[in-house]
Amino acid sequence: MFELIADEEVALKPLSYREVPALYALTDRHRDRLSVWLPWVRRHTLTDTYAFVDQSMAQLRRNEGFQAGIFYRGTLVGVIGYHRIDWENKKTSLGYWLDPTVQGRGIMTRAARTMVDHAFFHLGLNRLEIRAATENTRSRRVAERLGFTLEGIIREAEWLGDRFVDHAVYGLLAREWKAYAEKERAR
């Protein structure tokens, strides 16, 4: 199984059954904080975790994308992944979540940067999209730090707990990322 190395602290590994107990414990331990933005967390069980990992492994086998565990200093701290890859139009969307106790250390930005590099330089995709609730400032900042363009707001896009929330839609094209990457390397 391959892994993507962001740096000496952050690595991304496709999910396998080996991670199920740690992944479930992570979501269960932070259920209240994660469920603010991830409605599935409220009712998530160990069986659901196995099913999610099973679907993730099948997605990888079919070359439709993958979900990776985010490992920080060797410990599973979150998940990042491509939702279904549209090979005909060379695009996908990126989703992610992180253990609230390690937020603010740049982990998600490093993980997302690695996934963007992989999408454009390894998979040959042309477009990536990130959607986040407009009030989810941490998730939105990841997109903005990586040079994604805010393309619009989708009103009442998701039922979250007891209300509808709007989604901010961010897009990034391969040519924009390549220019951004060149600029970063020149620093």
Average pLDDT, the chain: 91
Q: What is the pLDDT of residues 75-124, one digit of tens each?
A: 999 999 999 999 999 999 999 999 999 999 999 999 999 999 999 999 99
- CATH classification of 4-186, choosing from 3.40.630.30, 3.40.50.300, 3.30.310.50, 1.10.10.60? 3.40.630.30
Q: Does residue 185 have a pLDDT over 80?
A: no
- How far is Cα 103 from Cα 96, in angstroms, rounded to an integer? 12
pTM of the model: 0.89
Q: How confident is the model at residue 180 (pLDDT cuts 50, 70, 90)?
A: confident
